[in-house]
């Protein structure tokens, strides 16, 4: 069993004064309380720390050695304690933010701008993956908060809707002759369903180029090499020259959420980060 900070403090003061009554007065406790604390500490360590004499206390060899170690332990405890207090009262800290790369392209610039203006001492580590993986990372404490699309519900998650999106078929503006090729991330369930329906009526003889990168799909579509299936926010980012290929084709509506565990709200910095992240879209 580890010594408590109180036991370490009582021991250190007793070591310095070499007297129970003097140490008790300086600590503001009774002599029996101090004596009992020292006895518990000796039991935990399995070593005698003082020789008791009529003139006072004489530290044993083990006691002198432990006094050096106790100082290190107390300094570490004070550092941790002060750090916790600072996190509760000041807006500073480091957080792990997760999102799909494409979602991050239209959320993170605004979030970072908000942080720079309102909470510059908040630092971020960015983690990029599919929304499902980001959600799993939040549940397992590997990620503090994330921007996720159509997240699954979980009892440990706080889900705050911050926006909507639409996944549609896009082409380069002004392009009349389009190669019969579709760029899509077929690993996403919503794309698979939409593509299957569209193939039956519109794209039976079109080729399919699969990619897990929405940014690459966007780039290839902008180059005029085919039609891209993309979220509207990705397709229109930076004023890209993409337009809807056919308004009659199936459209999938997506919901964008901020996901986090309630523990993030335990610090002032965490609360501020959630606030800033909520208005980043």
pLDDT digits (tens, 9 = 90+) for 238-278: 787 999 998 888 888 899 999 999 988 888 889 999 999 99
- The CA R_g of the chain, rounded to the nearest whole Å, is 31
CATH of domain 165-254: 3.40.190.10
Q: Model-level pTM?
A: 0.65
Domain ranges of the chain: 5-89, 93-163+256-278, 165-254
Torsion, CA 162, CA 168, CA 174, CA 175, rounded to 10: 140
Checking DSSP bridges between strand 227-231 and strand 93-99, what pairing results, if any? unpaired
**3-state SS of the chain: helix, strand, coil percent to 5?**
50, 25, 25
Domain 5-89 in this protein, CATH class: mainly alpha
Q: Could you say which architecture CATH assigns to the domain 93-163+256-278?
A: 3-Layer(aba) Sandwich (3.40)
Identical fold between 93-163+256-278 and 165-254: yes
Instruction: Show pLDDT as tens, one digit a residue, over the chain (281 residues).
Output: 778 888 888 888 898 889 898 888 888 889 999 899 999 988 988 889 999 888 888 999 888 888 888 877 777 766 656 555 554 556 788 899 999 888 898 899 999 999 999 899 999 999 999 899 999 999 998 999 999 999 989 998 999 999 999 988 999 999 888 999 999 887 555 555 666 666 666 777 888 888 888 889 999 999 999 999 999 999 988 787 999 998 888 888 899 999 999 988 888 889 999 999 999 88
């Amino acid at each position: 069993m580890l010594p408590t900070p109180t036991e370490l403090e009582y021991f250190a003061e007793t070591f310095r004064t070499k007297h129970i009554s003097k140490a008790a007065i300086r600590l503001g406790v009774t002599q029996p309380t101090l004596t009992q604390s020292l006895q518990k500490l000796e039991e935990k360590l399995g070593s005698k720390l003082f020789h008791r004499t009529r003139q006072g206390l004489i530290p044993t060899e083990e006691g002198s050695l432990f006094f050096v170690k106790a100082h290190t332990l107390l300094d570490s405890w004070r550092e941790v304690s002060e750090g916790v207090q600072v996190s509760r009262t000041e807006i500073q800290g480091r957080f792990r933010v997760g999102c799909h790369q494409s979602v991050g392209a239209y959320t993170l610039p605004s979030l970072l701008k908000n942080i720079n203006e309102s909470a510059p001492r908040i630092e971020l580590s960015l983690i990029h993956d599919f929304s499902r993986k980001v959600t799993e990372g939040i549940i397992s404490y590997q990620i503090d908060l994330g921007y996720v699309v159509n997240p699954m519900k979980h009892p440990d998650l706080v889900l705050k809707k911050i926006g909507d999106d639409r996944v549609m078929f896009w082409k380069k503006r002004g392009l009349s002759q389009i190669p019969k090729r579709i760029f899509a991330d077929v690993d996403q369930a919503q794309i698979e369903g939409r593509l299957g329906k569209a193939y039956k009526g519109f794209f039976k003889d079109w080729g399919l180029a699969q990619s897990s990168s929405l940014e690459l799909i966007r780039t290839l579509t902008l180059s005029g090499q085919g039609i891209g299936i993309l979220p509207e926010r990705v397709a229109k980012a930076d004023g890209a020259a993409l337009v809807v290929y056919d308004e009659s084709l199936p459209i999938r509506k997506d919901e964008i959420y901020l996901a986090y565990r309630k523990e993030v709200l335990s610090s002032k910095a965490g609360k501020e980060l959630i606030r800033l992240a909520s208005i980043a879209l």
